[in-house]
Chain A
Amino acid sequence: MSLNTKKYFIKETYHSIKRNQLMSFASISTVALSLLVLGLFLMMVINANNLAGYLESQVQITVYMEDSAKGNTLTSAEKALKEMPGVVKVSSVTKSQALENFKKRLGDQKDLLEALGTENPFPYSFDVQVDNPQRIAQIVPGIEKIPGVETAKFGREVVEHMFQLTRILRIGGLVLVIFLAVATLFIISNTIRITVFARRREVSIMKYVGATNWFIRWPFLLEGMFMGFTGAVIASVFLVQIYLTLQNKIYTTLAFFPLLGSWPFLGYLTLFLIISGTLIGAAGSSISLRKFLDV
Protein backbone atom coordinates (compact mmCIF):
# COMPACT_ATOMS: atom_id res chain seq x y z
CA MET A 1 0.00 0.00 0.00
CA SER A 2 1.51 3.34 -1.02
CA LEU A 3 1.93 6.31 1.32
CA ASN A 4 -0.49 8.17 -0.91
CA THR A 5 -3.15 5.52 -0.40
CA LYS A 6 -2.60 5.46 3.36
CA LYS A 7 -3.08 9.22 3.44
CA TYR A 8 -6.26 8.78 1.41
CA PHE A 9 -7.62 6.23 3.89
CA ILE A 10 -6.88 8.41 6.90
CA LYS A 11 -8.44 11.43 5.16
CA GLU A 12 -11.55 9.40 4.27
CA THR A 13 -11.88 8.05 7.81
CA TYR A 14 -11.55 11.54 9.26
CA HIS A 15 -14.14 12.94 6.85
CA SER A 16 -16.55 10.12 7.51
CA ILE A 17 -16.37 10.61 11.28
CA LYS A 18 -16.70 14.36 10.85
CA ARG A 19 -19.62 14.05 8.44
CA ASN A 20 -21.47 11.80 10.87
CA GLN A 21 -20.36 13.62 14.01
CA LEU A 22 -23.49 12.98 16.02
CA MET A 23 -23.66 9.35 14.99
CA SER A 24 -19.97 8.85 15.74
CA PHE A 25 -20.38 10.49 19.14
CA ALA A 26 -23.37 8.28 19.91
CA SER A 27 -21.50 5.15 18.83
CA ILE A 28 -18.37 5.97 20.80
CA SER A 29 -20.47 6.66 23.89
CA THR A 30 -22.39 3.40 23.50
CA VAL A 31 -19.18 1.46 22.94
CA ALA A 32 -17.60 3.16 25.96
CA LEU A 33 -20.62 2.28 28.07
CA SER A 34 -20.70 -1.36 26.98
CA LEU A 35 -16.95 -1.72 27.45
CA LEU A 36 -17.26 -0.07 30.86
CA VAL A 37 -19.88 -2.64 31.88
CA LEU A 38 -17.70 -5.36 30.36
CA GLY A 39 -14.71 -4.02 32.27
CA LEU A 40 -16.65 -3.84 35.56
CA PHE A 41 -17.73 -7.45 35.15
CA LEU A 42 -14.21 -8.48 34.29
CA MET A 43 -13.01 -6.67 37.39
CA MET A 44 -15.54 -8.49 39.53
CA VAL A 45 -14.97 -11.86 37.91
CA ILE A 46 -11.18 -11.63 38.19
CA ASN A 47 -11.41 -10.53 41.81
CA ALA A 48 -13.94 -13.22 42.65
CA ASN A 49 -11.64 -15.71 40.99
CA ASN A 50 -8.76 -14.40 43.03
CA LEU A 51 -10.85 -14.61 46.19
CA ALA A 52 -11.85 -18.18 45.31
CA GLY A 53 -8.22 -19.09 44.74
CA TYR A 54 -7.31 -17.53 48.07
CA LEU A 55 -10.06 -19.43 49.89
CA GLU A 56 -9.07 -22.65 48.16
CA SER A 57 -5.48 -22.22 49.25
CA GLN A 58 -6.71 -21.99 52.85
CA VAL A 59 -8.21 -25.46 52.69
CA GLN A 60 -6.10 -27.97 54.59
CA ILE A 61 -6.32 -31.56 55.78
CA THR A 62 -6.27 -32.34 59.48
CA VAL A 63 -4.78 -35.77 60.17
CA TYR A 64 -5.78 -37.18 63.59
CA MET A 65 -3.48 -39.78 65.07
CA GLU A 66 -4.53 -42.77 67.15
CA ASP A 67 -4.22 -42.29 70.90
CA SER A 68 -1.73 -45.12 71.01
CA ALA A 69 0.57 -43.49 68.46
CA LYS A 70 3.69 -42.20 70.17
CA GLY A 71 7.34 -41.33 69.45
CA ASN A 72 8.56 -43.23 66.40
CA THR A 73 5.12 -43.76 64.93
CA LEU A 74 4.54 -39.99 64.95
CA THR A 75 7.93 -39.24 63.41
CA SER A 76 7.54 -41.78 60.63
CA ALA A 77 3.91 -40.67 59.99
CA GLU A 78 5.12 -37.05 59.61
CA LYS A 79 7.84 -38.23 57.24
CA ALA A 80 5.33 -40.26 55.21
CA LEU A 81 2.99 -37.24 54.96
CA LYS A 82 5.79 -34.97 53.77
CA GLU A 83 6.73 -37.47 51.08
CA MET A 84 3.23 -37.70 49.65
CA PRO A 85 2.85 -36.16 46.19
CA GLY A 86 1.14 -32.76 46.26
CA VAL A 87 1.85 -32.06 49.94
CA VAL A 88 3.61 -28.74 50.49
CA LYS A 89 3.54 -28.24 54.24
CA VAL A 90 3.04 -30.43 57.30
CA SER A 91 2.83 -28.95 60.79
CA SER A 92 2.25 -30.96 63.95
CA VAL A 93 -0.20 -30.08 66.72
CA THR A 94 0.52 -31.87 70.02
CA LYS A 95 -2.22 -32.95 72.38
CA SER A 96 -1.49 -30.05 74.76
CA GLN A 97 -1.39 -27.52 71.88
CA ALA A 98 -4.75 -28.80 70.72
CA LEU A 99 -6.19 -28.32 74.17
CA GLU A 100 -4.76 -24.79 74.38
CA ASN A 101 -6.20 -23.93 70.98
CA PHE A 102 -9.59 -25.18 72.08
CA LYS A 103 -9.42 -23.14 75.27
CA LYS A 104 -8.63 -20.03 73.26
CA ARG A 105 -11.56 -20.69 71.01
CA LEU A 106 -13.94 -21.12 73.93
CA GLY A 107 -12.86 -17.78 75.37
CA ASP A 108 -15.08 -16.81 78.31
CA GLN A 109 -16.65 -20.26 78.38
CA LYS A 110 -13.42 -22.12 79.06
CA ASP A 111 -14.84 -23.21 82.43
CA LEU A 112 -16.70 -25.87 80.48
CA LEU A 113 -13.41 -27.73 80.15
CA GLU A 114 -13.16 -28.15 83.89
CA ALA A 115 -15.64 -30.98 83.59
CA LEU A 116 -12.89 -32.96 81.87
CA GLY A 117 -10.65 -32.77 84.91
CA THR A 118 -7.03 -33.54 84.08
CA GLU A 119 -7.83 -35.69 81.08
CA ASN A 120 -6.88 -34.34 77.63
CA PRO A 121 -9.28 -35.84 75.04
CA PHE A 122 -7.61 -34.20 72.04
CA PRO A 123 -5.57 -36.43 69.76
CA TYR A 124 -2.15 -35.62 68.35
CA SER A 125 -2.68 -34.19 64.82
CA PHE A 126 -0.99 -32.84 61.71
CA ASP A 127 -2.17 -29.92 59.56
CA VAL A 128 -1.39 -30.76 55.95
CA GLN A 129 -1.38 -28.18 53.13
CA VAL A 130 -1.47 -29.31 49.51
CA ASP A 131 -0.43 -27.55 46.29
CA ASN A 132 -3.77 -28.01 44.55
CA PRO A 133 -6.85 -28.04 46.77
CA GLN A 134 -8.82 -29.82 44.02
CA ARG A 135 -6.67 -32.92 44.74
CA ILE A 136 -7.52 -33.15 48.43
CA ALA A 137 -10.20 -35.78 47.95
CA GLN A 138 -7.70 -38.06 46.14
CA ILE A 139 -4.94 -37.56 48.69
CA VAL A 140 -7.00 -38.31 51.81
CA PRO A 141 -7.44 -42.12 51.31
CA GLY A 142 -3.64 -42.48 51.01
CA ILE A 143 -3.14 -40.57 54.25
CA GLU A 144 -5.56 -42.82 56.08
CA LYS A 145 -3.42 -45.84 55.18
CA ILE A 146 -0.36 -44.44 57.04
CA PRO A 147 0.25 -46.46 60.22
CA GLY A 148 -0.96 -44.67 63.35
CA VAL A 149 -3.43 -42.45 61.50
CA GLU A 150 -6.94 -42.60 62.91
CA THR A 151 -8.66 -40.38 60.38
CA ALA A 152 -8.07 -37.46 57.99
CA LYS A 153 -10.66 -34.70 57.70
CA PHE A 154 -10.94 -31.72 55.38
CA GLY A 155 -14.51 -30.44 55.66
CA ARG A 156 -15.56 -32.24 52.52
CA GLU A 157 -18.94 -30.55 52.16
CA VAL A 158 -17.66 -27.02 52.72
CA VAL A 159 -14.87 -27.52 50.23
CA GLU A 160 -17.11 -29.09 47.63
CA HIS A 161 -19.64 -26.28 47.99
CA MET A 162 -16.92 -23.76 47.60
CA PHE A 163 -15.55 -25.42 44.48
CA GLN A 164 -19.06 -25.44 43.06
CA LEU A 165 -19.44 -21.75 43.83
CA THR A 166 -16.13 -20.79 42.29
CA ARG A 167 -16.97 -22.88 39.21
CA ILE A 168 -20.28 -21.03 38.82
CA LEU A 169 -18.49 -17.71 39.29
CA ARG A 170 -15.93 -18.57 36.61
CA ILE A 171 -18.37 -19.93 34.03
CA GLY A 172 -21.01 -17.28 34.76
CA GLY A 173 -18.39 -14.56 34.48
CA LEU A 174 -17.12 -15.93 31.19
CA VAL A 175 -20.64 -16.16 29.75
CA LEU A 176 -21.38 -12.58 30.81
CA VAL A 177 -18.14 -11.31 29.35
CA ILE A 178 -18.82 -13.07 26.03
CA PHE A 179 -22.38 -11.75 26.00
CA LEU A 180 -21.23 -8.18 26.55
CA ALA A 181 -18.49 -8.53 23.92
CA VAL A 182 -21.09 -9.71 21.39
CA ALA A 183 -23.38 -6.81 22.35
CA THR A 184 -20.54 -4.36 21.74
CA LEU A 185 -19.79 -6.03 18.41
CA PHE A 186 -23.43 -5.64 17.44
CA ILE A 187 -23.49 -1.95 18.38
CA ILE A 188 -20.39 -1.14 16.34
CA SER A 189 -21.49 -3.19 13.34
CA ASN A 190 -24.84 -1.40 13.38
CA THR A 191 -23.21 2.01 13.48
CA ILE A 192 -20.91 1.13 10.61
CA ARG A 193 -23.89 -0.27 8.73
CA ILE A 194 -25.55 3.14 9.01
CA THR A 195 -22.45 4.96 7.78
CA VAL A 196 -21.96 2.47 4.94
CA PHE A 197 -25.62 2.79 4.04
CA ALA A 198 -25.26 6.57 3.94
CA ARG A 199 -22.30 6.09 1.61
CA ARG A 200 -23.59 3.18 -0.47
CA ARG A 201 -23.71 5.40 -3.55
CA GLU A 202 -20.05 6.21 -3.09
CA VAL A 203 -19.27 2.54 -2.54
CA SER A 204 -21.07 1.54 -5.74
CA ILE A 205 -19.24 4.25 -7.72
CA MET A 206 -15.96 3.02 -6.27
CA LYS A 207 -16.82 -0.46 -7.51
CA TYR A 208 -17.62 0.84 -11.01
CA VAL A 209 -14.32 2.66 -11.35
CA GLY A 210 -12.40 -0.44 -10.30
CA ALA A 211 -11.69 -0.12 -6.59
CA THR A 212 -10.77 -3.39 -4.93
CA ASN A 213 -12.86 -4.57 -2.02
CA TRP A 214 -9.96 -3.96 0.33
CA PHE A 215 -9.59 -0.40 -0.88
CA ILE A 216 -13.26 0.21 -0.08
CA ARG A 217 -13.05 -1.65 3.21
CA TRP A 218 -10.07 0.13 4.78
CA PRO A 219 -11.64 3.52 5.64
CA PHE A 220 -14.65 1.77 7.20
CA LEU A 221 -12.40 -0.63 9.10
CA LEU A 222 -10.36 2.28 10.39
CA GLU A 223 -13.54 4.05 11.40
CA GLY A 224 -14.75 0.99 13.34
CA MET A 225 -11.34 0.56 14.94
CA PHE A 226 -11.23 4.22 15.87
CA MET A 227 -14.66 4.02 17.51
CA GLY A 228 -13.74 0.83 19.36
CA PHE A 229 -10.40 2.26 20.46
CA THR A 230 -11.78 5.63 21.62
CA GLY A 231 -14.67 3.96 23.42
CA ALA A 232 -12.23 1.62 25.16
CA VAL A 233 -9.94 4.45 26.25
CA ILE A 234 -12.88 6.36 27.74
CA ALA A 235 -14.14 3.20 29.46
CA SER A 236 -10.64 2.50 30.82
CA VAL A 237 -10.30 5.97 32.33
CA PHE A 238 -13.59 5.52 34.22
CA LEU A 239 -12.74 1.96 35.18
CA VAL A 240 -9.39 2.91 36.71
CA GLN A 241 -11.05 5.67 38.72
CA ILE A 242 -13.81 3.35 39.92
CA TYR A 243 -11.35 0.64 40.96
CA LEU A 244 -9.07 3.01 42.83
CA THR A 245 -12.03 4.51 44.71
CA LEU A 246 -13.43 1.08 45.56
CA GLN A 247 -10.03 -0.15 46.64
CA ASN A 248 -9.69 2.78 49.01
CA LYS A 249 -13.12 2.08 50.52
CA ILE A 250 -12.47 -1.64 50.89
CA TYR A 251 -9.03 -1.20 52.44
CA THR A 252 -10.43 1.09 55.12
CA THR A 253 -13.44 -1.06 55.98
CA LEU A 254 -12.56 -4.67 55.05
CA ALA A 255 -8.81 -4.75 55.50
CA PHE A 256 -8.60 -8.57 55.28
CA PHE A 257 -10.35 -8.75 51.91
CA PRO A 258 -7.86 -10.10 49.35
CA LEU A 259 -8.50 -7.48 46.63
CA LEU A 260 -6.09 -7.53 43.71
CA GLY A 261 -3.57 -4.72 43.81
CA SER A 262 -4.22 -1.94 41.30
CA TRP A 263 -0.92 -2.54 39.48
CA PRO A 264 -0.35 -4.47 37.21
CA PHE A 265 -3.97 -5.65 37.31
CA LEU A 266 -5.44 -2.38 35.98
CA GLY A 267 -2.71 -2.17 33.36
CA TYR A 268 -3.63 -5.59 31.97
CA LEU A 269 -7.34 -4.86 32.19
CA THR A 270 -7.12 -1.57 30.27
CA LEU A 271 -4.77 -3.11 27.72
CA PHE A 272 -7.22 -5.96 27.26
CA LEU A 273 -10.16 -3.53 26.87
CA ILE A 274 -8.33 -1.35 24.36
CA ILE A 275 -7.18 -4.28 22.24
CA SER A 276 -10.56 -6.00 22.32
CA GLY A 277 -12.39 -2.69 21.73
CA THR A 278 -10.28 -2.06 18.62
CA LEU A 279 -10.67 -5.64 17.38
CA ILE A 280 -14.41 -5.61 18.02
CA GLY A 281 -14.56 -2.33 16.07
CA ALA A 282 -12.76 -3.92 13.12
CA ALA A 283 -14.91 -7.05 13.26
CA GLY A 284 -18.09 -4.97 13.55
CA SER A 285 -17.31 -3.04 10.37
CA SER A 286 -16.30 -6.18 8.44
CA ILE A 287 -19.62 -7.80 9.28
CA SER A 288 -21.69 -4.87 8.05
CA LEU A 289 -19.52 -4.32 4.96
CA ARG A 290 -19.90 -7.80 3.57
CA LYS A 291 -23.40 -7.16 2.27
CA PHE A 292 -22.60 -3.80 0.69
CA LEU A 293 -19.57 -5.00 -1.22
CA ASP A 294 -21.62 -7.26 -3.47
CA VAL A 295 -22.00 -4.87 -6.41
Chain B
Amino acid sequence: MALLTMTGISKTYQSGATALRNIDIHIKPGEFVFVVGPSGAGKSTFIKLLFREIEPTTGKIFVDGVDVMSLKPNEIPYLRRQLGIIFQDYRLLNDRTVYENVAFAMEVIEAPTEKIKKRVPEVLELVGLRSRADNYPGELSGGEQQRVAIARAIVNDPLLVIADEPTGNLDPETSMEIMKIFSHINENGTTIIMATHDKTMVDFMQKRVIAIEDGYIVRDDLKGVYGYEPEH
Protein backbone atom coordinates (compact mmCIF):
# COMPACT_ATOMS: atom_id res chain seq x y z
CA MET B 1 0.00 0.00 0.00
CA ALA B 2 1.19 3.49 -0.79
CA LEU B 3 2.31 5.62 2.16
CA LEU B 4 1.15 8.76 0.41
CA THR B 5 -1.55 8.98 -2.22
CA MET B 6 -2.83 12.11 -3.89
CA THR B 7 -5.66 11.87 -6.40
CA GLY B 8 -7.06 14.69 -8.49
CA ILE B 9 -5.49 17.39 -6.30
CA SER B 10 -5.98 20.98 -7.41
CA LYS B 11 -5.36 24.10 -5.42
CA THR B 12 -6.61 27.54 -6.33
CA TYR B 13 -5.92 30.30 -3.81
CA GLN B 14 -8.48 32.94 -2.90
CA SER B 15 -6.56 35.40 -5.03
CA GLY B 16 -7.50 33.24 -8.03
CA ALA B 17 -3.96 31.92 -8.58
CA THR B 18 -3.92 28.20 -9.34
CA ALA B 19 -0.89 26.46 -7.82
CA LEU B 20 -1.66 22.81 -8.55
CA ARG B 21 -3.78 21.18 -11.24
CA ASN B 22 -5.12 17.66 -11.09
CA ILE B 23 -2.16 16.04 -9.35
CA ASP B 24 -1.98 12.23 -8.92
CA ILE B 25 0.91 10.82 -6.90
CA HIS B 26 1.65 7.54 -5.16
CA ILE B 27 4.65 7.24 -2.88
CA LYS B 28 5.60 3.89 -1.37
CA PRO B 29 7.08 3.42 2.11
CA GLY B 30 10.86 3.86 2.14
CA GLU B 31 11.04 6.00 -0.99
CA PHE B 32 13.21 9.11 -1.32
CA VAL B 33 11.46 11.63 -3.56
CA PHE B 34 12.68 15.00 -4.80
CA VAL B 35 10.09 17.54 -5.86
CA VAL B 36 11.64 19.99 -8.32
CA GLY B 37 10.51 22.80 -10.54
CA PRO B 38 10.97 26.50 -11.19
CA SER B 39 10.08 29.04 -8.50
CA GLY B 40 6.32 29.47 -8.24
CA ALA B 41 5.67 26.12 -9.92
CA GLY B 42 3.62 24.85 -6.96
CA LYS B 43 6.25 22.97 -4.89
CA SER B 44 5.53 24.80 -1.65
CA THR B 45 1.80 24.35 -2.11
CA PHE B 46 2.42 20.64 -2.64
CA ILE B 47 4.48 20.43 0.58
CA LYS B 48 1.97 22.42 2.65
CA LEU B 49 -0.88 20.15 1.56
CA LEU B 50 0.95 17.15 3.01
CA PHE B 51 0.71 18.34 6.60
CA ARG B 52 -2.59 20.13 6.02
CA GLU B 53 -1.36 23.62 6.55
CA ILE B 54 -3.58 24.37 3.59
CA GLU B 55 -6.45 22.43 2.04
CA PRO B 56 -6.84 21.46 -1.62
CA THR B 57 -9.66 22.90 -3.70
CA THR B 58 -10.42 19.44 -5.07
CA GLY B 59 -9.03 15.93 -4.66
CA LYS B 60 -8.06 13.55 -1.92
CA ILE B 61 -4.89 12.95 0.11
CA PHE B 62 -4.19 9.74 2.01
CA VAL B 63 -1.27 9.37 4.43
CA ASP B 64 -0.77 5.79 5.57
CA GLY B 65 -4.36 5.02 4.61
CA VAL B 66 -5.84 8.00 6.48
CA ASP B 67 -7.96 10.45 4.49
CA VAL B 68 -6.24 13.71 5.47
CA MET B 69 -9.14 15.88 4.35
CA SER B 70 -11.64 14.05 6.51
CA LEU B 71 -9.69 14.86 9.68
CA LYS B 72 -11.38 17.18 12.15
CA PRO B 73 -9.23 20.15 13.29
CA ASN B 74 -8.53 18.45 16.61
CA GLU B 75 -7.23 15.35 14.77
CA ILE B 76 -4.65 17.23 12.69
CA PRO B 77 -2.00 17.16 15.48
CA TYR B 78 -2.09 13.35 15.36
CA LEU B 79 -1.45 13.41 11.60
CA ARG B 80 1.50 15.73 12.15
CA ARG B 81 3.00 13.37 14.73
CA GLN B 82 3.46 10.87 11.88
CA LEU B 83 5.39 13.49 9.92
CA GLY B 84 8.73 15.18 10.44
CA ILE B 85 8.74 18.64 8.90
CA ILE B 86 11.93 20.53 8.00
CA PHE B 87 12.05 24.10 6.69
CA GLN B 88 14.65 26.14 4.84
CA ASP B 89 14.91 28.58 7.78
CA TYR B 90 15.34 25.78 10.40
CA ARG B 91 12.67 27.27 12.74
CA LEU B 92 14.51 26.59 15.98
CA LEU B 93 13.74 28.18 19.34
CA ASN B 94 16.65 30.51 19.97
CA ASP B 95 16.21 30.65 23.73
CA ARG B 96 16.58 26.90 24.10
CA THR B 97 19.62 24.69 23.81
CA VAL B 98 20.11 22.12 21.06
CA TYR B 99 19.03 19.40 23.48
CA GLU B 100 15.92 21.34 24.52
CA ASN B 101 14.95 22.09 20.93
CA VAL B 102 14.93 18.39 20.12
CA ALA B 103 13.34 17.34 23.43
CA PHE B 104 10.63 19.94 22.79
CA ALA B 105 9.16 17.83 19.97
CA MET B 106 8.81 14.92 22.40
CA GLU B 107 7.48 17.01 25.31
CA VAL B 108 4.81 18.40 23.02
CA ILE B 109 3.43 14.93 22.28
CA GLU B 110 3.62 14.14 26.00
CA ALA B 111 6.35 11.49 25.81
CA PRO B 112 7.58 10.15 29.18
CA THR B 113 10.67 11.87 30.59
CA GLU B 114 12.67 8.65 30.63
CA LYS B 115 12.04 8.12 26.94
CA ILE B 116 13.05 11.72 26.15
CA LYS B 117 16.32 11.36 28.10
CA LYS B 118 17.19 8.21 26.18
CA ARG B 119 16.03 9.20 22.70
CA VAL B 120 17.35 12.79 22.36
CA PRO B 121 21.06 11.91 22.76
CA GLU B 122 20.60 9.06 20.26
CA VAL B 123 19.21 11.39 17.62
CA LEU B 124 21.83 14.05 18.31
CA GLU B 125 24.46 11.35 17.81
CA LEU B 126 22.85 10.42 14.50
CA VAL B 127 23.12 13.99 13.18
CA GLY B 128 26.60 14.42 14.69
CA LEU B 129 25.71 17.06 17.29
CA ARG B 130 26.10 15.12 20.54
CA SER B 131 28.87 17.46 21.69
CA ARG B 132 26.81 20.57 20.92
CA ALA B 133 23.82 19.55 23.05
CA ASP B 134 24.21 22.45 25.47
CA ASN B 135 24.80 25.13 22.85
CA TYR B 136 22.14 27.61 21.72
CA PRO B 137 21.14 27.87 18.04
CA GLY B 138 22.82 31.29 17.81
CA GLU B 139 26.17 29.63 18.56
CA LEU B 140 25.83 27.16 15.68
CA SER B 141 26.57 27.38 11.95
CA GLY B 142 23.73 27.17 9.43
CA GLY B 143 24.50 23.54 8.68
CA GLU B 144 24.51 22.66 12.37
CA GLN B 145 21.20 24.44 12.90
CA GLN B 146 19.66 22.47 10.04
CA ARG B 147 20.96 19.28 11.62
CA VAL B 148 19.18 20.24 14.86
CA ALA B 149 16.01 20.72 12.82
CA ILE B 150 16.48 17.28 11.26
CA ALA B 151 17.04 15.74 14.71
CA ARG B 152 13.82 17.38 15.88
CA ALA B 153 11.95 16.10 12.82
CA ILE B 154 13.00 12.47 13.29
CA VAL B 155 13.04 12.23 17.08
CA ASN B 156 9.48 10.86 17.16
CA ASP B 157 10.22 8.26 14.44
CA PRO B 158 7.90 9.71 11.80
CA LEU B 159 6.57 7.68 8.88
CA LEU B 160 7.37 10.46 6.49
CA VAL B 161 9.93 13.29 6.57
CA ILE B 162 8.90 16.36 4.59
CA ALA B 163 11.66 18.85 3.83
CA ASP B 164 11.07 22.18 2.12
CA GLU B 165 14.34 23.45 0.59
CA PRO B 166 16.44 22.15 3.50
CA THR B 167 19.73 23.11 1.85
CA GLY B 168 18.51 26.39 0.39
CA ASN B 169 20.54 28.50 2.83
CA LEU B 170 23.65 26.29 2.90
CA ASP B 171 26.91 26.12 0.93
CA PRO B 172 27.50 23.06 -1.33
CA GLU B 173 29.81 21.30 1.11
CA THR B 174 27.40 21.64 4.03
CA SER B 175 24.51 20.70 1.76
CA MET B 176 26.29 17.46 0.96
CA GLU B 177 26.67 16.66 4.66
CA ILE B 178 22.98 17.36 5.24
CA MET B 179 22.06 15.16 2.27
CA LYS B 180 24.18 12.32 3.71
CA ILE B 181 22.15 12.53 6.91
CA PHE B 182 18.91 12.37 4.93
CA SER B 183 20.27 9.45 2.97
CA HIS B 184 21.13 7.68 6.21
CA ILE B 185 17.65 8.30 7.64
CA ASN B 186 16.14 6.97 4.42
CA GLU B 187 18.28 3.85 4.56
CA ASN B 188 16.83 3.21 8.01
CA GLY B 189 13.41 2.99 6.38
CA THR B 190 11.95 6.50 6.72
CA THR B 191 10.24 7.88 3.62
CA ILE B 192 11.49 11.32 2.55
CA ILE B 193 9.86 13.93 0.35
CA MET B 194 12.07 16.91 -0.37
CA ALA B 195 11.30 20.04 -2.36
CA THR B 196 14.57 21.50 -3.64
CA HIS B 197 16.36 23.78 -6.08
CA ASP B 198 19.66 22.01 -5.50
CA LYS B 199 20.64 20.60 -8.93
CA THR B 200 23.94 19.10 -7.78
CA MET B 201 22.27 17.22 -4.99
CA VAL B 202 19.40 15.87 -7.07
CA ASP B 203 21.71 14.73 -9.85
CA PHE B 204 24.11 13.17 -7.36
CA MET B 205 21.50 11.25 -5.34
CA GLN B 206 19.82 9.49 -8.30
CA LYS B 207 16.48 9.17 -6.57
CA ARG B 208 12.90 9.53 -7.75
CA VAL B 209 12.27 13.03 -9.12
CA ILE B 210 8.83 14.60 -9.55
CA ALA B 211 8.94 17.83 -11.57
CA ILE B 212 6.12 20.34 -11.22
CA GLU B 213 5.64 23.16 -13.71
CA ASP B 214 2.79 25.61 -13.71
CA GLY B 215 0.84 23.34 -11.36
CA TYR B 216 1.18 20.19 -13.48
CA ILE B 217 3.41 17.15 -12.97
CA VAL B 218 5.59 17.20 -16.06
CA ARG B 219 8.00 14.42 -15.08
CA ASP B 220 8.08 11.53 -12.62
CA ASP B 221 11.29 9.48 -13.02
CA LEU B 222 12.45 6.74 -10.66
CA LYS B 223 16.12 7.65 -11.09
CA GLY B 224 15.70 11.20 -12.23
CA VAL B 225 17.78 14.31 -12.68
CA TYR B 226 17.10 17.93 -11.76
CA GLY B 227 16.58 18.91 -15.38
CA TYR B 228 16.66 22.71 -15.04
CA GLU B 229 19.41 25.29 -15.18
CA PRO B 230 20.34 26.32 -11.61
CA GLU B 231 18.57 29.57 -10.64
CA HIS B 232 21.33 30.79 -8.36
Q: Give residues in A with beta carbon < 8 Å to B.
A: 1-2, 4-5, 8, 19, 201-202, 204-213, 215, 295
A4 and B109 contact, CB distance less than 8 A: no
State which of B53, B85, B112, B156 has its C-beta within 8 Å of the C-beta of A4. Answer: B112
Contact with A along B63-83 (1 / 0, CB 8 A): 000000000011001111101
Besides A2-B110, A210-B80, 15 other CB < 8 A contacts?
A1-B110, A2-B112, A4-B113, A5-B107, A206-B104, A208-B80, A209-B81, A209-B104, A209-B105, A209-B108, A209-B109, A210-B79, A210-B108, A210-B109, A211-B77
Interface of A is mostly: helix
Q: Which residues of A contact B77 (CB under 8 A)?
A: 207, 210-213
Nearest-neighbour CB distance to chain B for A195, whole angstroms, equals 14
Report the bound CA distance from A208 to B83 in whole Å.
9
Q: Is the CB of A215 within 8 A of B108?
A: yes
Q: Is the CB of A295 within 8 A of B53?
A: yes
Q: A4 touching B93 by the CB < 8 A rule?
A: no
Minimal beta-carbon separation of B53 from chain A (angstroms): 7
For the A-B complex, the count of residue pairs with Cβ-Cβ distances under 8 Å equals 54
| Chain A, Cβ-Cβ closest to B96 | A202
| Chain A residues within an 8 Å CB radius of B80 | 207-210
**In the assembled complex, B180 has its CB within 8 A of some CB on chain A:** no
Nearest B residue to A204 via CB reads B91
Determine whether B152 belongs to the interface, using a CB cutoff of 8 Å to chain A: yes
Given A210-B108, A210-B109, check contact A205 B78 (CB 8 Å).
no
Interface residue? B51 (CB, 8 A): yes
CA distance in complex: A207, B51 (Å) = 10
Are B93 and A5 in contact, with the CB atoms below 8 A? Answer: no
Contact across chains for A213 and B108 when beta carbons are under 8 A apart: no
How far apart sit A210 and B110, CA to CA, in the bound complex (Å)? 10
